Amino acid sequence: MANVSLRHVYKIYDGGVTAVTDFNLEIADKEFIILVGPSGCGKSTTLRMVAGLEDISKGELYIGDKLCNDVAPKDRDIAMVFQNYALYPHMTVYDNMAFGLKLRKMPKEEIKRRVGEAARILGIEQYLDRKPKALSGGQRQRVALGRAIVRDPKVFLLDEPLSNLDAKLRANMRTEINKLYQKLGTTFIYVTHDQTEAMTMGTRIVVMKDGFIQQVDTPQHLYDLP
Ligand code: ADP
Ligand code: ADP
């Protein structure tokens, strides 16, 4: 059964820009899908439609068995990690990670357990009382990942999560995200314009160009890897 299914999906922005044209993709449970392509080809728009942050102009989005075109973001079984971290500057790392769960009125003990576990997985336990400005870029991105993990979603959406990091840290975080994927065993959809990330991270790669899917294949086939 496909975990996420996009069927003949289009996005036409107000003003008439067609950002995504006839996007068709069946994503199986526990796949790690990479959406790759040059800037402006529609990757982010596609991801944001899955998240519910953009309306779908035409076509259908299923998450699990459920038609989700009109389902609010908070009622989709997803969590999204953004390029710019989107952390709350006035809150501690703990509160940043706990915030979404508090909104959902989860019991305090359960919140504590989930934040603790996510912090352990990401190696940020010692920073829980700090504010984001007292963290490095890599640590902030871990907190952003942690905030998504605590929600225990079925699908992770990541929009260029490493592009604000320097080259060395990017290489480390590629490995970290691969490990995270192995550990969590959930579906990942990951947007990047970086060939190296595409080659080293996904189980299947979707190459986009001008709003269309150009090619879908494994990294081995696409990049002639051993
Ligand atoms: P990518 O993520 O591949 O860089 P985007 O999905 O951000 O591409 O953008 C795809 C196209 O849609 C681009 O032509 C972009 O200018 C346009 N676009 C993106 N967001 C909007 C918006 N809010 N309103 C109008 N056009 C947009
Ligand atoms: P949080 O990000 O901790 O959930 P927000 O106040 O930023 O807290 O989110 C309000 C709503 O926006 C959430 O209930 C959810 O629907 C959506 N949202 C915000 N951030 C995310 C995220 N990282 N992943 C998925 N949905 C999000």
ipTM of the complex: 0.72
Nearest atom (ligand 1) to Cα of 44 = 2
Cα 37 to ligand 2 centroid, rounded to whole Å: 27
- C-alpha 60/C-alpha 58 separation (Å) is 7
User: Is ligand 2 within 6 A of the CB of residue 154?
Assistant: no
Q: How would DSSP label each residue in 72-118?
A: -GGGSSEEEE-TT----TTS-HHHHHHHHHHHTT--HHHHHHHHHHH
The pLDDT tens digits for 99-155 are: 989 998 999 999 999 999 999 988 899 999 999 999 998 899 899 999 999 998 999
pLDDT of residue 82: 84
Question: Which of 80, 90, 111, 158 is the pocket-test mutation for ligand 2 (most atoms within 8 Å of CB)?
Answer: 80
Query: What percent of the chain lies above the pLDDT cut of 90?
Result: 73
Distance 17 CA to ligand 2 centre (A): 27
User: Three-state DSSP class for 8?
Assistant: strand
* 52-59: long-range contacts, CB 8 A cutoff, minimum separation 24: 52/76, 52/78, 53/80, 54/11, 56/9, 56/10, 56/11, 57/10, 57/11, 57/12, 58/8, 58/9, 58/10, 58/12, 59/6, 59/7, 59/8, 59/9, 59/10, 59/22, 59/23
Query: pTM of the entire structure?
Result: 0.86
Asked whether 80 lines ligand 2 (CB < 6 A), one says: yes
Mean pLDDT of 40-49: 97
55-111 pLDDT, tens digit per residue, is 999 999 999 999 999 999 988 989 998 887 789 999 999 999 999 899 989 999 999
**Which are the contacts of 40, defined by CB distance < 8 A and separation ≥ 6?**
none
75 phi/psi in degrees, rounded to 5: -100, 5
Q: How far is the CA of 45 from the centre of ligand 1 (A)?
A: 6
